[in-house]
Amino acid sequence: MSDKYDLVVIGSGPAGYVAAIKAAQMGLKTACVEQWVNDKDTVQLGGTCLNVGCIPSKALLDSSHKFTEVRDGLAVHGITVKKPEFDVATMLARKDKIIAQLTGGIAGLFKHNGVTAIAGKAKVLVGTKVQVTDAKGNVQELQAGNIIIAAGSLPVSIPPAPIDNEYIIDSTGALALTEVPGRLGVIGAGVIGLELGSVWRRLGSEVVMLEALDDFLPMMDMQIAKEAGKIFKKQGLDIRLGARVTKAEVKKGRVVVTYATAEGEHTETFDKLIVAVGRKPNSQGLFASDSGVTLDERGFIYVNDYCETEAPHVYAVGDIVRGPMLAHKGSEEGVMVVERILGEQAQMNYDCIPSVIYTHPEIAAVGRTEQELTADGVEYKIGVFPFAASGRALAANDAEGMVKLIAHAETDRILGCHILGASAADLVQQVVIAMEFGSSAEDLALTVFGHPTLSEAVHEAALAVDGHAIHIANRKKR
């Protein structure tokens, strides 16, 4: 006999738990299936983001950045500190405490809102049924009015560098290193590689990043990426582009990596090697053959603009569907789906989803890049304001980077914003809101910003779009 629910959510990461809580708040009898269990053999909520992704990586990034601030950044303020020391075990314990607090918080919210958490691996059957197999092999069947699949993603592995979880590790292993590697190799110079490489470089590792692509951060605005590359090089990250790893093997407790460039074959030896080449959808084994759900060649679930799969009353959100693998994108998709299940005409604005790289300085973006607009033949105008001209940034001794605002040449509507600098993740949200309301660059330029703040850089970039910036020399109009 099946247990009946109005909604069954598969996965308890940000996409899944938000959808489950929203549905329960709206009166739907809701269950959330999660296959992770903790050392107490109880369900571990939060998914990749809270357990081995967004949250733990930010904890380590903040801890390591504070260490570099004490070690390298206080003398300019007239503060003298004896040689600081760093304890990795304490840093990891702090990270684990944060994880426990947040995952426990989700469990509390489930209880408060009446969401039933079920431990086990889910399989979607025909007729909106979900089969759940727990760690002991016990099987139960859930009958759902609707299903939301939010099973998330997994680290991508590559044949030349097989993960052994000791010397060759993935992003999960990189968050649990118990000592600082003397020499650290990172395959991939994207978001994950840069964040993890930054953590261990700050703590003393010699970090070499091997990126197969010839361009650095090609998904980011080219001007921002170029400037960021200069800053990261100055920080000691050895980023080698056009470097394709062909072999990695462990010899005498070290990892010997062979890679090819346009100049030929090269070899490097590391104490640890992190494989950070991206993530893939966690869809394998998730569906019965007659479930009606269609996957593409990469394993992503096919959905329309409203996250509906080809099976009636079955939806999919987050990393397991098209679009950027971002926790906030999945969360909002989950909310949209719940509202549509309830008969509302909710929709997502995929043009206004911000992305962030939590290095220091941070890199944040929303909307189109200059190279994308050029390729599409869209006429645009830009305004750039450097943090070096920001009083607040200079006062904080944190003045690297810039704000770049892009607007349509004729309508002045904001098309994109790209920020490299302190608090970029928070600053870009101002432009996200503006874009959501269809604002023009002039709208931002006419808005009063507090002084002195980092936000003024956004204001000045908006003014610079039409050559009206006050605190920098404006470009001469052609």
Residues identified as active-site = 451
d(CA 329, CA 350): 8
User: Do 421 and 457 form a contact (C-beta atoms < 8 A)?
Assistant: yes
d(CA 319, CA 299): 11
Helix (H, G, I), strand (E, B) or coil at 296: coil
User: Do 474 and 417 form a contact (C-beta atoms < 8 A)?
Assistant: no
Cα–Cα distances in angstroms (integers) from residue 246 to residues 217, 240, 433, 441, 474, in the given order: 22, 15, 45, 47, 48
DSSP 61-87: HHHHHHHHHHHHSSGGGT---------
Nearest to 17 by CA among 330, 285, 413: 330
d(CA 413, CA 406): 9
d(CA 164, CA 31): 35
d(CA 423, CA 283): 35
Nearest to 119 by CA among 1, 21, 12: 12
Which single residue is written with the structure tokens 């593409």? Answer: 296
Cα–Cα distances in angstroms (integers) from residue 64 to residues 22, 90, 207, 447, in the given order: 35, 12, 15, 36
